[in-house]
Amino acid sequence: MQTYSTRRTTFLAIALTAIAAGPLACHNSPPPDQAIAELHDPDPDTRQRAADSLRTDEGVPPNAIQPLLDALGTERFLYVRGAILITLGKSGRPEAKAPIDQAVQSATDKDSRRWAGRALKYWMIATHALSADYAFPDGWPYGQPGYPRRLVE
């Protein structure tokens, strides 16, 4: 028969394991091929999640780059465009640079500028143009030479 102390220790071990594994179990990213297909889903939230899920610590799947570029060309929702741009930035792929630069130059609202700037930052880090520990100034790249002025707050 187990003592109270043994039962308590066993319970705590199981509880802590469940708590630690909780975030892993809740991570519902679709496989890359499914996420690529979901870039054309009618629901913009699904498209955003698809773009976000293609951006991992291991990078962006090479077969996702062209579908992301195609989706960017037709996407109407700014927040989904932002997710696509950031994922393209994380890829560091040369073909992602032109649409990121275009977004940086043409963004007129605060959110679009933040997403475009983040995409450019990730692209520059991925290509080793800047180090990951570079101290980016607030609002970068806006207000820097060659970039639009910062928005007045």
Cβ partners under 8 Å of residue 24, min gap 6:
none
The 10s digit of each residue's pLDDT in 5-47 is 655 555 544 644 545 444 444 457 889 999 999 999 999 999 9
Identify the pLDDT of residue 130. Answer: 92
The 10s digit of each residue's pLDDT in 91-125 is 999 999 999 999 999 999 999 999 999 999 999 99
The 10s digit of each residue's pLDDT in 35-90 is 999 999 999 999 999 999 999 988 999 999 999 999 999 999 999 999 999 999 99
Domains in the chain, CATH or no CATH each: 30-126 (1.25.10.10)
The H-assigned helical ranges of the chain are 4-26, 32-38, 44-53, 65-74, 78-91, 94-106, 110-126
pLDDT at 142 over 70: yes
pLDDT band at residue 139 using 50, 70 and 90 as cut-offs: confident
Find the distance separating the first CA and the last CA of the chain, reported in whole Å: 68
Identify the pLDDT of residue 20. Answer: 47
- Of the candidates 94, 97, 95, 99, the residue with the CA atom closest to the CA atom of residue 81: 99
Exposed, middle or buried by CB within 10 Å (0-12, 13-18, 19+), for 84? buried
